[in-house]
């Protein structure tokens, strides 16, 4: 039986991680969080692939990440996977759970507030997407797919991850 | 009986090699050589085409090659880490070997998930060593 932990604890930890690194000034926060995520992604990949058949092609690895890895880490599967068949994959998650509870301080003035609030949640989401991106990148790298991963949440909690496989 | 267990990293770098035989230090060197040679057999097995497209390939590679005194068995993970076991007579059944490798793999996963371990460095953890020894002894 694997050890389990409450989802709330994980959410709070992810929030606090971004906040703690955001407040200190020794290392750039994004780089520090990225390094943590990359390392954790590698370890998770090792664990989650232990009891399954061998993966071969990069496409199989991406599918594994979309289904099993996503299920384990983000508690659901990716909703939509698109590719241009030239090494770029777009993973769309319509309700990305790590962003589900993200919100900005209630905008004080009325009027233009509606549009501004949405824009700033998307902006806020950028900081919180560094960790998931790094997790995915770490898992892919450990399974033999070197890729760059970026994420954008235009309308949180919907979120699009773009995976670009680097040529060898 | 298993006389040597080894873990080989993604870039074919040795991460762990332990011998389970009373003998001189020459022994370790000899097993290093045997394990090193087996890596070619691993590459060969991995390069084999699948029987049918989409058929899952097994992590257990079976017998890699026999030497004069021993038989060498291999197992490869999804993350291209190889486990090599050198076995003395009597040779265990395939199913038994598979189970041993599975447990060996589980011990390895536990060891690399240790936050104080950095990826692709030799496994010096004593608890990993202890669990490998327990697994070896069950055979």
pLDDT, tens digit, for every residue of A11-41? 888 888 888 888 887 888 888 899 999 999 9
Alpha helices in chain A (DSSP H): 7-23, 29-48, 58-64, 70-74, 113-142
For the segment B101-115, the average pLDDT, to the nearest whole number, is 90
* Chain A contact for B78 (CB, 8 A cutoff): yes
Q: Which of A12-26, A101-115, A119-133, A135-149 has the highest mean pLDDT?
A: A135-149
Q: What is the pLDDT of residues A145-155, one digit of tens each?
A: 899 999 988 78
Domain parsing of chain B, residue ranges: 2-137
pLDDT at A106: 65
Cα–Cα distance between B106 and B100 in angstroms, integer?
10
pLDDT at A163: 93
- Average of per-residue pLDDT across A85-106: 84
Using pLDDT thresholds of 50, 70 and 90, give the confidence band for residue A109: low
The CA distance from B110 to A47, in Å, is 8
SS3 B62: strand
- Stronger pLDDT, B139 or A140, i.e. the higher one: A140
Q: Say if residue A153 is preceded by a cis peptide, omega within 30 of 0.
A: no
* H/E segment holding residue B86: strand B82-87
CB pairs under 8 A between A and B: 45
pLDDT category of residue A102 using cuts at 50, 70 and 90: confident
Sign of CA dihedral A46, A51, A54, A55: negative
Asked if ipTM goes beyond 0.90, one says no
C-beta neighbour count of A14 within 10 angstroms: 16
Whether A107 has a pLDDT exceeding 70, the answer reads no
Q: What residue of A is the nearest CA neighbor of B53?
A: A56
Contact indicator for B50, B57 with CB cutoff of 8 Å? yes
B104 vs A contacts (CB less than 8 Å): none
CB of B49 less than 8 A from some CB of A: no
Q: Enter the pTM of the model.
A: 0.85
The percentage of chain A sitting over the pLDDT mark of 70, rounded to a whole number, equals: 89
Contact yes or no for A147/A164 (Cβ under 8 A): yes
- Look at the block and give the residue holding tokens 């001189």: B24
Q: Determine the 3-state secondary structure of A21 from DSSP.
A: helix
Residues 6+ apart with CB under 8 A from B101: B59, B60, B73, B75, B83, B85
pLDDT reported for residue B45: 84
Q: What is the DSSP string of A75-92?
A: SS--SEEEE-SSSEEEEE
Closest in A47, A56, A142 to B113, CB measured? A47
Cα–Cα distance, B68 to B70 (Å, whole number): 6
Chain A residues near any Cβ of chain B (below 8 Å): 39, 42-43, 45-47, 49-56, 142-144
Residues in chain B: 139
Residue of chain B minimizing CA distance to A60: B54
pLDDT of residue B56: 61
Q: Give the list of residues 6+ apart from residue B114 with CB closer than 8 angstroms, or none.
A: B125
Res. A91: pLDDT tops 60: yes
For residue A113, how many other CB atoms are within 10 A of its CB? Answer: 12
Of B80, B106, B119, the CB nearest to A42: B119
Q: Answer whether B56 touches A (CB < 8 Å).
A: yes
Q: 């090792």: which residue's tokens?
A: A46
Give the whole-angstrom CA distance, residue B57 versus residue A55.
8
**DSSP 8-state class, residue B85:** E
Q: In B, which residues are within 8 Å of A144 by CB distance?
A: 10, 79-80
The CATH code of domain B2-137 reads 3.30.450.70
Domains within chain A, CATH numbers bracketed: 7-165 (3.30.1380.20)
pLDDT averaged over every residue in chain B: 85
- Name the residue with tokens 């309700």: A95
Distance CA A162, CA A151 (A): 6
pLDDT of residue B84: 92
| Shortest distance, CA B24 to any CA of chain A (angstroms) | 35
- Which of chain B's residues have a Cβ under 8 Å away from the Cβ of A47? 109, 113
């Amino acid at each position: 039986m694997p050890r389990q932990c409450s989802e709330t604890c994980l959410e709070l930890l992810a929030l606090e991680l971004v906040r703690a690194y955001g407040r200190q000034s020794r290392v750039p926060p994004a780089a520090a969080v990225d390094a943590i995520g990359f390392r954790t992604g590698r370890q998770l990949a090792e664990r989650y692939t232990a009891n399954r058949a061998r993966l071969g092609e990069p496409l199989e690895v991406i599918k594994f990440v979309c289904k099993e890895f996503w299920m384990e880490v983000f508690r659901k599967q990716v909703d939509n996977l698109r590719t241009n068949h030239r090494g770029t994959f777009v993973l769309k998650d319509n309700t990305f759970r790590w962003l589900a509870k993200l919100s900005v301080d209630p905008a004080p003035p009325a009027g233009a507030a509606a549009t501004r609030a949405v824009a700033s949640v998307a902006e806020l989401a950028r900081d919180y997407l560094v960790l998931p991106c790094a997790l995915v990148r770490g898992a892919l790298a450990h399974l033999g797919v070197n890729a760059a991963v970026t994420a954008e949440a235009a309308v949180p909690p919907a979120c699009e991850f773009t995976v670009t496989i680097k040529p060898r | 009986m298993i006389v040597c267990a080894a873990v080989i990293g993604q870039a074919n770098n040795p991460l762990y090699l332990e011998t389970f035989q009373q003998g001189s230090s020459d022994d370790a060197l000899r097993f290093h050589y045997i394990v090193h040679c087996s890596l070619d057999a691993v590459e060969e097995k991995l390069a084999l085409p699948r029987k049918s497209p989409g058929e899952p390939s097994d992590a257990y590679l079976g017998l890699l090659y026999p030497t004069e005194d021993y038989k060498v068995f291999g197992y490869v993970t999804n993350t291209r880490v190889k486990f090599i076991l050198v076995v003395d007579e009597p040779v265990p059944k395939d199913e038994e070997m598979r189970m041993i490798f599975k447990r060996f793999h589980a011990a390895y996963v536990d060891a690399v998930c240790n936050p104080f371990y950095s990826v692709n460095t030799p496994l010096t953890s004593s608890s990993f060593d202890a669990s490998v020894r327990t697994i070896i002894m069950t055979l």
